Structure 1
Amino acid sequence: MNIPKILHKRKYEFLLAALLIHLFIAVLLYDLDFYTNIIWPLNMLILGIFSLGIFSEKSRMQLIFKNILLALIIFLPISIIYLKPTPLMMELINIAHIAFYCYIFIEVLRYLLKPSYINSDIVSASACGYLLLIEIGIFSMQAIYYGTTNPFKGIDTTSFTTIYLDIVYFCSITVTSIGFGDIVPSNHYAKLATSILGIAGQFYSVVLVGIMISKYTSETGNSSKK
């Protein structure tokens, strides 16, 4: 079995599954310490492996950069298990995650703009882009949380894990425009970042619909000429 070939052929399906697991696996878990110490590093390792297919045809420098970011997002969170998490350490973790997810997000967008047809890869890549936008929002909000004073009201501050999970929830309902109001931004950094995230979510959805319609129109047009 050629695993690299399988990862490349089904790269967007695998990436979508890894993102869903990373964002929402905690809904199946009761022990948050187990989630932090075991599941989180395992999630990041799975996400790194399942993102290999997207970078399989990239240059050596791009692969090196991606692997450096992957190493950072795996080993920096593990260090929290053995060291007291300081604001500086949390900011480094957030910056590394933002860079990693932005890097993948850009590659997904490039792919969405290329083909003139719709297939399962396009649908999976579209969903990946949406979840990657949420991931970028999560670690951007965490950077604001640890870098400013009183950025949010309603977040469970029991541990950095509960903070993270509440921010996952907050970013998910912001991007989807649900906005229950149980967690709200309370300083201007958080308010503006939340506004940008909400606008980005709507913009992505609108542009994605336009891309899909364009691809479908192009595909049906080409079929009618044959």
Structure 2
Amino acid sequence: MLGLASVGVFKEKGRWKIIIKNTLLLVVIILPVLHPFLKDHVLFMQVLSLLYVSFFSLIFWEVMKFLIRPSYVNADIIFAAGCGYFLLVEISAFLLLFMYYNHPGSIANVDASQVASTYIDLVYLASVIQTSIGFGDITPSFHTTKLAASFMGVLSQLYNVLLVGILISKFSSKINSKS
């Protein structure tokens, strides 16, 4: 559903961008349909996770371009800023999901009883990492997942700093243009 809702972000024309967007959208729709049949295949879950990382990264890029372009602040800009943050959580969750399926012991205390439980635990972990809360109930246990979690935390803080800078510059340019 999130993939379908995100298609509206692509407003620009460009043959390759349209091809990539449509291909990723098709894959994002078809793969979950295959999920009940292939959920026990680790390779399928890894490919699914990486495709979602690619799809949401492409959408995140489009949201960032939207945030930078205008010289004003309105409700669309504020909503896009929030969507960008949630997209970072989704990208991080699917990257963690890939890492988890690559090495099941790489993240400790994940509920692996059902695929949905694993996904929810990793969305929770991604949110905890990005908000820098760090409860410690679900933790990365391998060096690669520790590095990825660190990178996700730094990337999230960078997004926050850039976002505040963008919004302040747009807001201050609006005030300066009135005076």
Fold match (TM-score > 0.5): yes
Name the structure 2 match of 1:23: none
Write the distance in 1 (CA, Å) between the matches of 2:162 and 2:39: 43
Shift of 1:159: 1.6
Name the structure 1 match of 2:26: 71
Structure 2 unmatched ranges of 5 or more: none
Write the distance in 2 (CA, Å) between the matches of 1:127 and 1:84: 31
* Aligned match for 1:134, one of 89, 110, 115: 89
Name the structure 2 match of 1:210: 165
1:84 to 1:101, Cα distance in 2 relative to 1, 3 A: closer
The answer as to 2:177 corresponding to 1:219 is: no
Aligned amino acid, residue 164 of structure 1: Y
**Secondary structure, aligned partner of 1:102:** helix
Name the structure 2 match of 1:174: 129
Q: Deviations over 1:181-226 (max 9, x none)?
A: 10011000110000011111111111111111111111111111xx
CA contact (8 A) 2:39 2:115 kept: no
Aligned amino acid, residue 134 of structure 2: G
**RMSD of equivalent CA atoms:** 1.3
Write the distance in 1 (CA, Å) between the matches of 2:38 and 2:96: 23
Write the distance in 2 (CA, Å) between the matches of 1:149 and 1:85: 13
Name the structure 2 match of 1:31: none
Name the structure 1 match of 2:70: 115
Write the distance in 2 (CA, Å) between the matches of 1:92 and 1:179: 28
Name the structure 2 match of 1:54: 9
Write the distance in 2 (CA, Å) between the matches of 1:122 and 1:205: 14
1:132 to 1:84, Cα distance in 2 relative to 1, 3 A: closer
Shift of 1:149: 4.7
- TM-score by length of structure 1 reads 0.76
Aligned residues: 179
- Equivalence map 1:3-14=2 (5 Å): none
The answer as to 2:27 corresponding to 1:90 is: no
* Percent of pairs with identical residues: 42
Write the distance in 2 (CA, Å) between the matches of 1:188 and 1:213: 37
Shift of 1:177: 1.0
Name the structure 2 match of 1:160: 115
**Secondary structure, aligned partner of 2:125:** helix
Write the distance in 2 (CA, Å) between the matches of 1:61 and 1:99: 15
Name the structure 1 match of 2:139: 184
Write the distance in 1 (CA, Å) between the matches of 2:62 and 2:38: 34
Moved over 3 A (4+): none
Q: Deviations over 1:102-156 (max 9, x none)?
A: 1000011111111111001110110011001111101110111011251011111
Name the structure 2 match of 1:101: 56
Write the distance in 2 (CA, Å) between the matches of 1:138 and 1:189: 15
Q: Deviations over 1:20-61 (max 9, x none)?
A: xxxxxxxxxxxxxxxxxxxxxxx24xx31x323221332233
- TM-score by length of structure 2 reads 0.95
